[in-house]
Chains A and B, each alone.
Chain A
Amino acid sequence: MTNEKNRKKSQVAAIWRRLRKNKMAVLGLVILSLIILLAVFADLLFDYETLVIQQSAALRLKPPSAEHWLGTDEVGRDILARIVHGARISLPVAFVTIAAATVIGGLLGAISGYGSRQLDNIIMRIMDVFLAIPSILLSIALVAALGTSMTNMILAISISNIPPFARIVRSAVMTIKNEEYIEAARAIGASDARIIVKHILPNCMAPIIVQATLSIAGSILAIASLSFIGLGISPPTPEWGSMLSTGRQFFRAAWWVCAFPGFAIMLTILSLNLLGDGLRDALDPKLKT
């Protein structure tokens, strides 16, 4: 029935097939791909120097028109161009921070949930300390201490995202590790590391994926907040959050300055959540048809 050699490929194909059946997930994937494509080809679409950086008093706060589809901001820059270029900062930073937080937090949580009680106590109490400080405050403190730069901001946001991951993975691991198939895995001579990585973690994927997609949204907002108080991306570099916050004061007179960057954030988050939901279902072999 199945060709032995193509099996690994066919497993990916099976996940893809299941994902494709989920219309909402496909919608999310399409939107996200569009945003990523726009970001990749931003330079071809909009010239960075003339449209994104160059200010022009004559074009201040122009409403959406044929020339400037999404209008212009308070110093006369094209908002569409800034959003598209802004995606080149917001998306990678958000993905990198959450990827780092997922891996580190996931491992800490797995060790904590599977290991001895003392180890669990040590790791989780450290996590509790981090959780007790509001994450934005933690990021501010870290960036302020380490200095303002892109790397430090990524570091700060990653660190403040680790504790929730550790907590979620720990509780999932604690449920899974009492399952009989884990005992069975031990009975065939699997080592602890192998049991954690190969048997427990794949069974904890659902909560991890959900948390990751939700956190990306939080991460985009955290970048925005840090940029707003001058600890993240410094102007004039376009970034969705800082666009949002500088446009705030003109909101009554020129809604488009705030609305479109906000819409971009919302669209990205929505597409990620749809995709995340679909991915979680597609990865679950029990729902296979």
Chain B
Amino acid sequence: MDLKKTVVPEERASQRPLLDIRGLRVEYHTDEEVVYAVNGLDLTIGKGESVGLVGETGAGKTTTALSVLRLIASPPGKIMGGQIWFEGEDLLQAKPRRLREIRGSKISVIFQDPMTSLNPVYSVGDQIAEVIHQHEKCSREEGRKKAGDMLEMVGIPRARYSEYPHQFSGGMKQRVVIAMSLACSPELLLADEPTTALDVTIQAQVLELMSNLKEELGTSLLLITHDLGVVAQVCDRVAIMYGGEIVESGTIAEVFDHPHHPYTIGLFGSIPTLDETVDKLKPIQGQMPDPTILPEGCAFAPRCPYASEVCQHTKPETVCVGGGHQVRCLAHQGAFQSPELMEEVRRGR
């Protein structure tokens, strides 16, 4: 598709990325309308790397993650185009049988709500063992032993193997879900807002656990969240998503210190800082664009304080602004001059 888009961070350029999403388009078709959830998304994740995917509700984060495993409910969901390369294989072309082999063993998912992602009629240990039996040839005893090991790894005593999900607290359930998703040592872990349903203390524990396990097992991670703080704590790189596409991506240092895209700047602007007293937070004005209408120009233009006439009609392209730092903005592309934006970028945070 677009040549500029398959850029890999320099130090990894020699290596092929583990996951390479190119030009992904996903739509939801209902009788009344078509929702354009993901519109030409490009994203790469290297081996052992963790990438944060940040964006507000409805930006298409979950849809992206589910597309990787082809778990989009169809109908109404439909993957309209693009490629998802994983270990030299396009997952969008893969046969159902092959997909089942990959799910859970090479790529696994942690869902948003741990309260509902465990089956209430099986003991937690058996549910972990199920993943193992699904993908590895081993005896019942080995499966049980391994599932027990996984429980201990996430800090749950083996003795609770035969207990049922309702006997666990929310944080512990999420640990079980993590144990389940890591049971077959997958190459890639897709974590879809793994801490949203948890309170802050448990959230910290779960995040720490995830980072530690990731280090230990060398798993790559795609962390979907709307919490920039979480991303800073866990990830190497971050991608900011808006209206179904990535508007800015780069290493944590690049994006957090010098956000380039007006949306990213707005996101950081809306977070209160510790050393300043403010009466009111500065939210980004306006609403997410209606996902049933594909914008002609830049998706963020209607809310962008720096937008010019061009932004309404021209689609921005991804440009590199140094290192692996990429931005999708017409101002940075040089389509128009915006001294205010440049001033804002130079100041950084």
Contact = CB atoms under 8 A, between A and B. Distances in A.
Interface of A: 1-2, 4, 7, 10-11, 179-181, 183-191, 198-199, 202-203, 205, 285-286, 288
B337 to A, nearest CB: 47
A191 B103 CA distance: 11
Nearest to B190: A187
B166 A180 contact: no
25 contacts: A2-B159, A10-B162, A180-B112, A180-B113, A181-B117, A181-B118, A183-B71, A184-B109, A184-B111, A184-B119, A184-B180, A186-B103, A187-B71, A187-B111, A188-B130, A188-B131, A188-B180, A188-B181, A202-B119, A203-B119, A285-B120, A285-B164, A286-B166, A288-B164, A288-B167
Nearest to A176: B119
A179 B115 CA distance: 11
Contacts of B14: none
A189 B100 contact: yes
Interface in B230-264: none
Nearest to B177: A184
Nearest to A198: B130
Contacts of A191: 100
A4 B161 CA distance: 10
Nearest to B69: A187
Given A186-B103, A188-B130, A189-B135, A181 B164 contact: no
Contacts of A181: 116-120
A183 B116 CA distance: 10
A4 B141 contact: yes
Contacts of B117: 180-181, 183-184
Contacts of B134: 188-190
Given A187-B109, A190-B134, A286 B159 contact: no
B91 to A, nearest CB: 13
Contact of B119 (A11, A185, A288): A185
A180 B273 CA distance: 37
Interface in B99-132: 99-105, 108-109, 111-113, 116-123, 130-131
Given A180-B111, A188-B108, A199 B119 contact: yes
Top 6 closest A-B pairs, CB basis? A188-B104, A189-B103, A180-B116, A1-B159, A189-B104, A285-B164
A189 B101 contact: yes
B105 A189 contact: yes
A56 B41 CA distance: 91
A190 B134 CA distance: 7
Most B C-beta atoms less than 10 A away, residue of A10, A11, A179, A186: A186
A213 to B, nearest CB: 20
Nearest to A284: B121
A110 B111 CA distance: 25
A203 B120 contact: yes
Looking at chain A's contact residues, the main secondary structure is helix
Contacts of A190: 100, 130, 134
A10 B121 CA distance: 16
Given A179-B116, A189-B100, A189-B135, A286 B111 contact: no
A59 B161 CA distance: 66
B316 to A, nearest CB: 34
Nearest to A7: B162
B144 interface: yes
Most B C-beta atoms less than 10 A away, residue of A185, A189, A202: A189
A10 B161 CA distance: 13
Contacts of B119: 181, 184-185, 199, 202-203
B121 A187 contact: no
A57 B122 CA distance: 63
Interface in B185-228: none
A285 B121 contact: yes
Given A179-B116, A191-B100, A186 B130 contact: no
Contacts of B108: 187-188
Contact of A2 (B102, B121, B141, B161): B161
A179 B223 CA distance: 22
A219 to B, nearest CB: 28
Nearest to B132: A188
Interface string B174-185: 000100110000
Contact of A4 (B99, B113, B144, B177): B144
Contacts of A198: 130
Contacts of B162: 2, 7, 10-11
Contacts of A184: 109, 111, 117-119, 177, 180
A198 B135 CA distance: 16
Contacts of B105: 189
Contacts of B111: 180, 183-184, 187
A45 B158 CA distance: 54
Interface string B140-162: 01001000000000000001011
Contacts of A202: 119, 121-122
Nearest to A182: B119
Contacts of A7: 162
Contacts of B104: 187-189
A180 B167 CA distance: 18
A203 B116 CA distance: 13
Nearest to B164: A285
